[in-house]
Amino acid sequence: MNIKLFLETFQNREGIFSFTTDHQETQRIFRNAHDFTYGVNTLALGTLKYRVKVLCYVLMDNHLHLLLKGRSEDCAAYFKWVLHRLTLMLKSRYGISGLLKSDAADVQVVTDSNMLLNEVAYQLRNPYKARMTNPFSYPWAPFEVYFNPYLSNLRGDRFRSSDSAKIALGTHAEVPLHWEHLNGRVMNKCFVDYRTVEEMFGSSVIFFDRVRKYDIESIIAQAHGVEEQLAFTDSEMQEKILAICRNEWHVESLHQLNRKDLLQLARSLARRFGTPKKQLSRLLGIDLKLLEQAL
């Protein structure tokens, strides 16, 4: 359901809610580690502003998932604030406006423990399903905090002062000085409520077994109305694009190709890898209508 219907239906209700942004078809939200780090820090800072608990999340290059616990109004306000900060990032760094709209997002109310377990597993499996990496090593999700007997040994750097923390994280809010960060990214153990998730699962055996299940995607995707992921992720296609540019045009960047070459590259990618037109438009910067005519 959309946020408006969600707020009308579940006024002032305590619960667990899953928020998913619209999958961007021709643009990316996060393009590099700098962007992803900003995204994680935004999630952390939001917990200082709103009375919500982040149970799980995953940041993908063209969408994000959040699993929040709290009052419906607080969770919705947190989600909108996150999108607002990411919108400001996209505007300042890439000149992109209007990409993230809260009314285009999907909200699901977690109604029972089985649905909760599926939601957590589904979010953590997103990188695997997108053929990026396994859930255990994806850096933009909090997998490492759950059922980790060595979590206390995972240490980062402390902010030297309140002012240095504010500058580093781009906020006016008071940042807890016990927060730790790795390369500027607030560590998940500082703001993710992993203990609640562990209590819900009950044991690490159930947790890892649920994350390994291959039928989780179809169950949750059907509930959210999410389309199947692309055959190749943007990251995979970018590697293929760079390889073709080097081998066939002897250049190191797409910016060195003219319009004719770009269209030829698009045809080559569509033929070799079955790359969808919308993904080609997003990665090559070619107008979708022009691509449809060319292909």
Tens digits of residue pLDDT in 161-170: 999 999 999 9
Is the residue at 203 inside a domain?
Answer: yes
Is the residue at 147 inside a domain?
Answer: yes
Q: pTM above 0.95?
A: no
Q: Kind and range of the H or E element at 107?
A: strand 106-109
Asked if 162 and 177 touch (Cβ cutoff 8 Å), the reply is yes
pLDDT at residue number 230 = 47
Output the six-digit token pair for 200. 């819900």
pLDDT at residue number 49 = 96
| pLDDT bucket at 217, cuts 50 / 70 / 90 | low
User: How large is the average pLDDT for residues 77-81?
Assistant: 97
Is the residue at 229 inside a domain?
Answer: no
CB neighbour list of residue 175: distance below 8 Å, 6 or more residues apart: 45, 48, 159, 162, 165, 166, 169
Q: Is the pLDDT of residue 109 over 90?
A: yes
Q: Are residues 39 and 182 in the same domain?
A: yes
Is the residue at 268 inside a domain?
Answer: yes
Instruction: Return the higher-pLDDT residue of 113 and 188.
Output: 188
Expressed as residue numbers, the domain containing 199 is 3-224
